[in-house]
Amino acid sequence: MKDEELKKEDEALKAEQAGGKDQASETGEAKETEASNDIPETQEGTPDETEETEETEESTEQVPAGEKEEKKGFFKKKKDPRDEKIEELTDRVKRQMAEFENFRKRTDKEKSAMYEMGAKDIIERILPVIDNFERGLAVIPEDKKEDPIAEGMEKIYKQIQKVFEEAGVKPIEAAGKEFDPNFHNAVMHVEDESLGENIVAEELQKGYMYRDSVVRHSMVKVAN
């Protein structure tokens, strides 16, 4: 009996040991399965983190240049008030110099115009004296032209003509020229077949020009 009981106990002990081994193997397999299941999850999570990193880098690279400049602008050194004052005064001086130059040119132009007007006025006052010299010389007889008085008048007349020429005063050509209302003043009209149409037949009073402007129009007689 004792042998049978010992035999039964021995078999039960062996069965328990065998059951413990099976349970341990099952537990190991379960752990391996869980570990294998955890590995894909970790691998799947890695691309997401990579994508987030790439997006962060792209967003950093895609920052507009204007925003970067604005950010840099915050750190720019403030301009010195003295430099601003120097620039302001320099600009003011340049403006005043430009205004002065315009004023100088305008003044020179006005002075020139006033000089022209004054010169023309003096010439107009002298022209009647020239006319009287010409009339006086025209009535001197041929046998009296060598008279000292006649010679003196001739010399004075030539001297005045020389002064006029040096000053830019010159007589207007009229006789035998085509009538031009810009230079001639027609006071008479005659029929003359020897002359063409609208030709100046005779100059009654000599006209003069001062540089490019007419001081006095020629008084003429126009043919046909």
- DSSP category for residue 140: S
* 11 in a structural domain: no
In a domain, 95, yes or no: yes
Assigned token pair, 50 = 């990579």
Instruction: State the chain's mean pLDDT as an integer.
Output: 77
**Domain CATH number, residue 219:** 2.30.22.10
Per DSSP, the residues of 28-94 read HHHHHHHHHHHHHHHHHHHHHHHHHHHHHHHHHHT--HHHHHHHHHHTSPPPPHHHHHHHHHHHHHH
Determine, yes or no, domain membership for 80: no
pTM of the model: 0.52
Confirm whether 194 is domain-assigned: yes
Are 182 and 147 members of one domain?
A: no
Q: Considering the domain boundaries, does residue 122 fall inside one?
A: yes
Task: Tell me, yes or no, whether 147 and 111 share the same domain.
Answer: yes
How many distinct structural domains can be found in the chain? 2
Amino acid in position 9: E
Q: For the segment 190-222, what is each residue's pLDDT rounded down to a tens digit?
A: 888 888 888 999 999 999 999 889 999 999 999
**Per-residue pLDDT tens over the stretch 48-71:** 545 555 555 554 455 455 555 555
Whether 146 and 212 share a structural domain = no
Q: Token pair 């007689």 is at which residue? A: 221
Do 199 and 185 share a domain, yes or no?
Answer: yes
pLDDT of res. 115: 83
CA 31, 36, 42, 45: dihedral to nearest 10 degrees?
-130
> Do 163 and 100 belong together in one domain?
yes
Same domain, 103 and 141: yes
Q: Which domain holds residue 102?
A: 90-167
